[in-house]
A = this chain, B = another copy of it.
Amino acid sequence: MGGSEIRRTMPLFPIGIVMQLADLSARQIRYYEEHELISPARTEGNRRLFSLNDIDRLLEIKDLLEQGINMAGIKKIFAVSKMEKVEGDPFAKKPELTDDELRNLLKKEMLSPGKLSRSSIRAGDLSRFFR
């Protein structure tokens, strides 16, 4: 209370800034939210406010999309990497896609021509920009 701390989870950025930072359109960002890949905070007046973590995640999404992975795949990937962090949690949520389904998804995506291995630039993790 009163004192203000800046954390990576703190909602700070309006969508206009995030668009520039992540080089994404508002439409794209909202679409990813619609698919629950991000969950930015809201102001009292319902404007989205993004944290540094949100932006990192957007960059990850962008990266994965460029590799030809679709919403469902990305969602699954995030679910997995989240599970790794809470490994052993007895309350761990059951993922919507089984591992089999993910394998199928990825196999399908892999076969789509011209998309894979285009950008080898690691996009994610905005923190490297700070000094």
Contact = CB atoms under 8 A, between A and B. Distances in A.
A6 B59 CA distance: 14
Interface string A9-24: 0001110110011110
Interface residues of A, number: 21
Binding site secondary structure of chain A: loop
A7 interface: yes
A43 B21 contact: no
Interface stretch (A30-38, A84-92, A112-120, A123-131): A123-131
Contacts of A21: 4, 6
A22 B12 CA distance: 13
Contacts of A126: 6
Contacts of A49: 17
B43 A7 contact: no
A129 B5 contact: yes
Contacts of A23: 2, 4
A33 to B, nearest CB: 19
A3 to B, nearest CB: 8
Given A13-B12, A17-B12, A129 B6 contact: yes
